[in-house]
Amino acid sequence: MTDASKDQGSGADGRVGVVIVAAGRGARAGQADGPKQYQRIGGRAVIAHTLERFLSHPKVGPVVVAIHADDRELFDRAAGAIAGRVLAVTGGSSRQASVRLGLLALRDQAPTKVLVHDAVRPFVDAGLIDRTIEAIGGRQGALPALPIADTLKRGSADGMIEETVSRAGLHAAQTPQGFPFWPLLAAHEKAHHLGKTDFTDDAAIAEWAHIPVKIVTGSPDNVKLTWARDIAMADQRLSSALPRFPDIRTGNGYDVHAFEAGDHVTLCGIAIPYDRKLSGHSDADVGLHALTDALLATCGAGDIGTHFPPSDPQWKGVASKIFVEHAAKLVRERGGRIANADVTLICEAPRVGPHREAMTAALSSMLGIAPERISIKATTNEKLGFVGRGEGIAAIATASVVYPGEVPA
């Protein structure tokens, strides 16, 4: 037993020993991260969640974990910093054998009471642990259980229903199962020496050894993770409950186009009559080009030239709304939600104010967001530079996007 384990206390100070059974192979749940007790839910291994439930309980003293002989590295990695607070022993070829070996490892601590729990029941709560401990007597065990709610049928060998079984008095057993330590150890030792290996839980061994077992109220949340679907649902449950770091990203875009001969300019999707037009490979909508770059920046997807190179003839003369809608689609595919779009047009002419409402409606349609989340502004360059000389129009755009937050490691 490690020094850390000894510091947890023993029967002398009234605290309770615990045996966690974790030596199974768990093939029914798949082997993505090893046996099911090592698969990850809520960002951590199942067994780590289970251990913390007991290590954080004020009445729990020494904790022993029975693991498979091949799983030492898996266990150390899964348990992380709490590995040093428990004693890991090699389990046996069956659950019964693993419990016996775990109990033997507790002998030096000599706890008055002991709890035996499945590693793959990570949702056991403090109230259930308390109820089980309180029901343990000097010669009495405790079994958390829930009344059977489903109608029960007994089937024949050929798959047909033989009879409906009365569910009166029937319960579904859970863990932790609690017992006075020495009587349970003696029962396990006796069964071992007699070669009796067919007990499926410790309450069954207690029955065989004439140790009375009291039923205490179990918990519907205290599920045993058996199938791959159980693991997935447990992960969803824990992940949704964990605090997430907010992931709000802001992207900026800038573009400029010069004037050339023409009869209108297109700004933020709206054609405005003018004695010139903007020069560019597409419709040269300087506002939408800047906004496209701003959106792409929020998810590290390059810039407008990456997706729509001006050397490609298929984009010649196209409406720039295609670029914005493509960028918005990429954002959403990455889980992003566009919170705000802000475009500033920098020009001496034409006047933008009379067209602002139409521009806002156009952007609302392209981005799929409400008009109040869109801002379109215009300013002059005070007759300075190429914009001030009326040689072209520039635009600056900012996009704010909310992405799914990350669960802290």
Pick out the residues of the known binding site.
255-257, 281-282, 289, 303-305, 379-382, 386, 389
Which residue bears the tokens 């959106």?
295
Contact 326, 307 (CB under 8 A): yes
Residue 277, C-beta contacts closer than 8 angstroms, at least 6 positions apart = 259, 260, 261, 262, 263, 264, 265, 266, 284
List residues forming the annotated binding site for a divalent metal cation.
Answer: 255, 257, 289
User: What is the DSSP-derived secondary structure letter of residue 145?
Assistant: E
At 382, give phi and psi (nearest 5°): 55, 40
Q: Report the alpha-carbon angle 151-156-162, nearest 5.
A: 50
Report the SS3 class of residue 140. Answer: strand
Residue 276, C-beta contacts closer than 8 angstroms, at least 6 positions apart = 259, 260, 261, 262, 265
Q: How many residues does the chain have?
A: 409
Q: How far is CA 5 from the centre of its chain?
A: 31
Which two structure tokens, joined as six digits, stand for 294? 């701003």
Contact 29, 228 (CB under 8 A): yes
Q: How far is CA 66 from the centre of its chain?
A: 27
User: What is the DSSP-derived secondary structure letter of residue 104?
Assistant: H
d(CA 204, CA 175): 13
Q: Can you list the alpha helix ranges (DSSP code H) found in 139-285?
A: 181-193, 202-208, 228-241
Other CB atoms within a 10 A radius of the CB of residue 95 amount to: 19
